[in-house]
Amino acid sequence: MHLTFACSECQNTSSTDFDADTQHVVCGHCQRSIEVPRGAVDGQRIKACMVCPSRELFVRKDFPQQLGVSIVVLGIVLSCVAWYYHAVVTTFAILFSSVLIDVALYLFMGELVECYRCHAQYRGTADVAEHGAFDLETHEKYRQRRLRGQS
């Protein structure tokens, strides 16, 4: 299983492998060691965030949004070129396939578990569905807390 997190000490993003026996996660930049809360990892399942240690996590597609957007933008640019040369069928074929590629990518991408509070990301864990999908209300709760400077 794999963890990606933002270090609260040096603000850098670190990633590390972990398993049920992992007791500390160490920032690769400043070597800060974070103690993993007991029971955060249960076998192959992630029960609580190893970093912050919130128990509120959500599941989302492991889809690089920028890549998705670039494919669509590229499709639009290419179809404009085709349109300019009066190739109507090609124009729509390009538009259609760029959307299709996006959908296919989305479907084949795996899922990751993310922490609402510190946005640590967990890949390769089992039973991710038990965390539920992204909930705006919970997200807002943590955002407000952050704005007020509470942890």
Helix H or strand E encompassing 71: helix 65-84
Closer to Zn ion by CB, 11 or 44: give it. 11
- Checking DSSP bridges between strand 13-17 and strand 24-26, what pairing results, if any? unpaired
Tell which positions 18-57 bind Zn ion, by CB under 5 A. 27, 29-30, 32, 49, 51-52, 54
Q: Is 131 in the site for Zn ion (CB under 5 A)?
A: no
Nearer to Zn ion, 10 or 105 (CB): 10
Contact pick of 2, 9, 24, 70 for Zn ion (by CB under 5 A): 9
Indicate the residue type of 47: K
C-beta atoms surrounding 107 within 10 Å: 9
Instruction: Indicate the residue among 107 and 133 with the shorter CB distance to Zn ion.
Output: 133
Query: CA 151, CA 26: separation in Å to the nearest integer?
Result: 21
User: x/- binding map, residues 62-101, to Zn ion, per CB under 5 A?
Assistant: ----------------------------------------
Based on its alpha-carbon atoms, the radius of gyration of the chain, rounded to whole angstroms, reads 20
Query: Does 115 help bind Zn ion (rule: CB under 5 A)?
Result: yes
Shortest reach from residue 37's CB to Zn ion, in Å: 10
* Contact between residue 117 and residue 5 where contact means Cβ atoms under 8 Å apart: no
Q: Which of 118, 121, 122, 128 binds Zn ion (CB under 5 A)?
A: 118
The closest of 115, 116, 137 to 125, measured between CA atoms, is 115
Using CB under 5 A as the criterion, which residues of the chain lie in contact with Zn ion when the complex forms?
Answer: 7, 9-10, 27, 29-30, 32, 49, 51-52, 54, 115, 117-118, 120
